[in-house]
């Protein structure tokens, strides 16, 4: 079915188009016919790979194939323990990849659950319940408060109908519906007030609508299409490691082949050199690198959970560290998603309220001073009008609040209209509760809100023959009905000057993006005879005051945005709300600066082509009145400008952009299942500040990855140079094949893994994000690796040559070279803890895991030197104290020099300070 703009047509025109009937609906036979043409009202499942195919695909990665080859080589050498270890690494990596990939493809399945299981329709002239999946275009949908809407529909009848469309538009307020055609041809979803949409909820009133779209043709279905069209893109870390792995493997294989050829040409036996070459290849290729990366990321995930962030995809931890832009939904992410009364205007005086969200603890301030309600009788009256003229209920865990325990908790929720909920909370802060008020007064009737009336009134009987009418509504509407204004001495005549003052105060409140309601009352001594005439009571009202409310920013959001700014991260607000409201919140969060920052609406964005939009995308900090397709376009434009983009959100409307972004972040409390399934990370506390913690963790993880890359490659380079230089010089092999494998086991395992859990630098959030295309070896890392690799290799070869030629003892020479190589690497691991600070600055004992890992490696090396059984296996001899002195001096001289320089620097600094004083 071709998608039409049904909101432009009249209700009768839409009914005629679908050959339906507003009172009779469709017949059963017609429903069957349309089901065969249009299909069921459900999300179409994307073609998915089988579980077996997903699992097999995990073994197609280049480094995984190298690991499998290393397993076979180790088994061939008889190193079954090493072979088993590598095989376990391969299987664990495959299992992790399988579960992550399988889980990530469930977002379309989750969209199915959003369609309500049961719907009310008119068929064959009767209202009946039917499975939601059986709805067809042309069905007459019956809507009632509390229902989840099962399909997109054009409204044909409305009775005070309102719907919560936050999951689609991001707006925190319920949308008032009507049945009239809309003149604006390109109205956004938030402005289509004569339409209801699948997956949204009726919050108030009743209505009927003719179903216009089902299944994948609905707005939710369009989002599903957007999500299914987005493919998987590798993270920067995955790309770097794949490139690094290929280069290292081929480089090591070529060098090992040269070692074998050179050794044979120098007279060594072919078998020994082949075994040495294979052993060197196993040791030189950093087969532990993918495993250590995985472990480092997994441990980072555990730390993230403790900081209220759940990582669904391991590489997302690293991706967080290079984020340059965060696209954040306003409602529920930067704000609390709860309406809160901020200001109250009464008789020329403005009052501020404290307390956020649904907290009932709060104060009323005038000129920053706390006021007493006993002394401010008009304020008390204003709050009471708001509580009386209200249908919302304050609840805790679905239980209505009442009794003495209500003051002991702040975990409340509102059932009903969010605006009325804000008035209930404001009254609760003053100790005013409707259930208490209704013990002295009885509600007689309600004159409900209608868009045409723009007001609501309730009538209470407070004593025999005495009634009070309480009214709230749009400011201009209420003022036109008022004859009096409340004063300290009672109602006083309402003058034109009073009205102008109130209108000026209203303008000031609306300039702050506050939603303003006017409140009034009237004492009545006689009721009309006919109840239908109660609306005539809304005259000669007594104006009490104005209440301005807003969905307030989160307390921690402003500080978090400041941290993002100093960390070089651009924060962008994307919302379906009105521009004025969005700008007001952005200014309060210090995101927006008048005259410097740019705001763009969805309509303005539509007027730009991709080239024009790409030019200005870096200047825009607030996007207002946008749709899901707009959000997706924004993320893509930012990525085209070189940004690494994070998208935060909670609604269905956010899901495509979440999935398209380099890392998608969903809200755990208020987020829909669709957003969570599309995301790479979920915030369990819905707190924007958690994102900052996640970025810090991501940067730290990448730093740690660089640490053990530096360590592993320098050590492996030292091993290769030792063997290669010996072959070129024509001396016997400094290390036997089994010794090479042992060095690999002792030094490449636990110490490297301990670097993966090292602490972060204190200035990590004062650095700009790293350039997305930078090499893993950037910022001088390659020079450090090469310098230390040469130092390790030639130190080992130097000890071997000295002992072999001076003492003429090949076994002792190999033992000392073997031990020197191990200790060179163990000393080097401490140098790798920071790229800018010395071990003395970092703290020698600040990483207890590294101390434990090095201690374990030292004990393992001592075991092969002093346990007779192991000495026979590894062809070693015990070392004397003089031998140990040579080994420790040669392997640790750079480490000792660093400590000595630090001590001398401190002494020089202290002397300088003393001389100045």
Q: Which residues are catalytic?
A: 329
Strand pairing report for 645-649 and 325-329: parallel
Contact 754, 849 (CB under 8 A): yes
CA distances from 615 to 166, 608, 618 (A): 31, 10, 7
Residue 291 main-chain phi, psi, to 5 deg: -65, -40
DSSP result, 168-225: HH--SSPEE---S----TT--GGG-TTEE-TT-EEEEEEEEEEEEE-GGGSHHHHHHH
Helix (H) or strand (E) holding 156: strand 152-164
Give the integer Cα–Cα distance in Å for 221 and 648. 21
Distance, CA of 300 to CA of 296 (rounded, Å): 6
Strands 570-574, 309-311: pairing kind:
unpaired
What would the two tokens of residue 423 be?
A: 């008035």
Residue burial 610-644, b: 16+ Cβ < 10 Å; e: rest: eeebeeebbebbbbbbbbbbbbbbbbbbbbeeebb
- Interior CA angle at 842 toward 841 and 847, to 5°? 155
Residue of 236, 255, 258, 257 lying closest to 247 (CA atoms): 255
* Separation of alpha carbons 106 and 294, rounded Å: 23
Number of other CB atoms surrounding residue 75 within 10 Å? 15
Q: What is the DSSP string of 551-619?
A: -PBPTTHHHHHHHHHHTT-EEEEE-SS-HHHHHHHHHHTT---TTTSEEEEHHHHHTS-HHHHHHHGGG
Distance, CA of 99 to CA of 884 (rounded, Å): 49
- Rounded distance, CA 878 to CA 858, Å? 14
DSSP 837: S
SS3 698: helix
Cross-sheet strand order for the sheet of 399-400: 399-400, 393-396, 413-415
H or E element that contains 318 = helix 315-320
CA distances from 634 to 586, 658, 681, 697 (A): 18, 11, 20, 26
Helical ranges in 732-835 per DSSP H = 737-748, 750-755, 781-807, 810-831
3-state secondary structure of 50: coil
Place of tokens 């620097």: 905
Instruction: Identify whether the C-beta of residue 115 lies closer than 8 Å to the C-beta of residue 190.
Output: no
Query: Looking at residue 517, what DSSP letter applies?
Result: E
**Half-sphere exposure for 511 (CA within 13 Å, toward CB):** 6
Structure token pair of residue 253: 């294989």
Cα distance between residue 469 and residue 396, in whole Å: 30
- By CB atoms closer than 10 A (0-12, 13-18, 19+), residue 339 is buried
Round to whole Å and give the CA distance between 159 and 161: 5
- What CA–CA distances, in Å, run from 506 to 344, 385, 408, 520? 10, 18, 35, 15
């Amino acid at each position: 079915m071709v998608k039409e703009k049904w909101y432009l047509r009249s209700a009768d025109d839409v009914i005629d188009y679908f050959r339906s009937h507003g009172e009779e609906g469709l017949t059963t036979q017609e429903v069957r016919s349309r089901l065969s043409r249009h299909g069921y009202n459900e999300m179409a499942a994307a073609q998915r790979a089988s579980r077996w195919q997903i699992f097999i695909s995990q073994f197609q990665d280049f480094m995984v194939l190298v690991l499998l080859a290393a397993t076979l080589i180790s088994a061939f050498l008889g190193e079954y323990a090493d072979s088993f270890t590598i095989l376990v690494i391969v299987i664990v990596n495959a299992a992790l990849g399988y579960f992550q990939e399988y889980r990530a493809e469930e977002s379309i399945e989750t969209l199915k659950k959003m369609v309500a299981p049961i719907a009310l329709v008119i068929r064959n002239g009767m209202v009946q319940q039917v499975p939601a999946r059986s709805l067809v275009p042309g069905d007459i949908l019956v809507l009632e408060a509390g229902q989840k809407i099962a399909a997109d529909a054009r409204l044909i009848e409305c009775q005070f109908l309102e719907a919560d469309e936050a999951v689609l538009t991001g707006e925190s307020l319920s949308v008032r519906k009507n049945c009239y055609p809309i003149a604006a041809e390109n109205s956004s979803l938030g402005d289509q007030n004569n339409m209801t949409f699948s997956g949204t909820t009726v919050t108030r009133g009743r209505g009927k609508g003719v179903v216009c779209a089902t299944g994948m043709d609905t707005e939710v279905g369009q989002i599903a299409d957007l999500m299914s069209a987005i493919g998987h893109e590798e993270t920067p870390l995955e790309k770097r490691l794949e490139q690094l792995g290929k280069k290292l493997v081929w480089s090591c294989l070529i060098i090992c082949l040269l070692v074998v050829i050179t050794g044979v040409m120098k007279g060594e036996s072919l078998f020994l050199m082949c075994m040495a070459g294979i052993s060197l290849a196993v040791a030189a290729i950093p087969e532990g690198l993918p495993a250590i990366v995985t472990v480092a990321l997994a441990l980072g995930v555990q730390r993230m959970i403790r900081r209220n962030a759940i990582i669904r995809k391991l590489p997302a931890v690293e991706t967080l560290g290079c984020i340059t832009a965060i696209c954040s939904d306003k409602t529920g992410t930067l704000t609390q998603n709860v309406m809160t009364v901020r200001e109250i205007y009464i008789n020329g005086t403005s009052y501020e309220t404290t307390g956020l969200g649904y907290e009932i603890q709060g104060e009323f301030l005038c000129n920053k001073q706390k006021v007493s309600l006993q002394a401010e009788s008009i304020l008390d009256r204003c709050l009471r009008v708001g509580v009386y003229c209200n249908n919302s209920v304050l609840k805790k865990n679905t239980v209505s609040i009442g009794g003495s325990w209500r003051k002991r908790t702040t975990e409340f929720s509102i059932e009903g209209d969010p605006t009325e909920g804000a008035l209930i909370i404001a009254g609760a802060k003053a100790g005013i509760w409707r259930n208490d008020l209704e013990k002295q007064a009885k509600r007689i009737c309600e004159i409900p809100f209608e868009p045409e009336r723009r007001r609501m009134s309730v009538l209470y009987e407070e004593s025999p023959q005495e009634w009070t009418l309480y009214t709230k509504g749009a400011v201009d509407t209420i003022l036109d009905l008022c004859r009096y204004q409340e004063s300290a001495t009672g109602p006083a005549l309402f003058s034109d000057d009073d009205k102008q003052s109130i209108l000026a105060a209203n303008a000031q409140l609306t300039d702050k993006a506050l939603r303003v309601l006017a409140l009034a009352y009237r004492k009545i001594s006689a009721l009309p005879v006919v109840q239908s005439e109660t609306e005539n009571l809304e005259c000669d009202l007594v104006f009490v005051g104005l209440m301005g409310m807003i969905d307030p920013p989160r307390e921690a959001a402003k500080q978090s945005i400041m941290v993002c700014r100093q960390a070089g991260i651009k924060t962008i607000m994307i919302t379906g709300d009105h521009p004025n409201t969005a700008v007001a919140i952005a200014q309060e969060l210090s995101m927006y600066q008048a005259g410097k920052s740019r705001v763009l609406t969805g309509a303005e964005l539509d007027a730009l082509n991709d080239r024009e939009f790409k030019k200005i995308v870096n200047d825009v900090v607030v996007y207002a009145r946008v749709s899901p397709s707009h959000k997706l376009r924004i993320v893509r434009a930012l990525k085209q400008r070189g940004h690494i983009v994070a998208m935060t959100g909670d609604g269905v409307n956010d899901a495509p952009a979440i999935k398209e972004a380099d890392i998608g972040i969903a809200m755990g409390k208020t987020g829909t299942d669709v957003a969570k399934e599309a995301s790479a990370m979920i915030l369990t506390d819905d707190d924007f500040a958690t994102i900052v913690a996640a970025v810090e963790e991501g940067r730290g993880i990448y730093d740690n990855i660089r640490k053990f890359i530096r360590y592993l490659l320098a050590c492996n380079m030292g091993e290769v140079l030792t063997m290669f230089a010996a072959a070129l010089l024509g001396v016997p092999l400094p290390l036997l094949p089994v010794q090479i494998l042992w060095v690999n086991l002792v030094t490449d395992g636990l110490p490297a893994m301990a670097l993966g859990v090292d602490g972060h630098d204190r200035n990590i959030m004062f650095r700009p994000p790293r350039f997305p295309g930078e090499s893993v070896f950037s910022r001088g890392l390659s020079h450090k690796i090469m310098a230390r690799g040469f130092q390790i290799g030639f130190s080992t070869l130097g000890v071997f040559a000295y002992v072999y030629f001076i003492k003429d003892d090949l076994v002792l020479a190999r033992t000392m070279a073997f031990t020197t190589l191990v200790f060179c690497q163990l000393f080097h691991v401490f140098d790798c803890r920071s790229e800018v600070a010395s071990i003395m600055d970092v703290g020698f004992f600040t990483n207890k895991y590294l101390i434990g890992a090095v201690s374990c490696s030292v004990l393992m090396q001592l075991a092969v030197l002093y346990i007779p059984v192991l000495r026979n296996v590894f062809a070693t001899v015990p070392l004397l104290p003089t031998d140990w002195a040579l080994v420790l001096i040669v392997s640790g001289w750079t480490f000792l020099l660093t400590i000595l320089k630090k001590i001398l620097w401190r002494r020089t600094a202290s002397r300088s300070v003393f001389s100045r004083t």
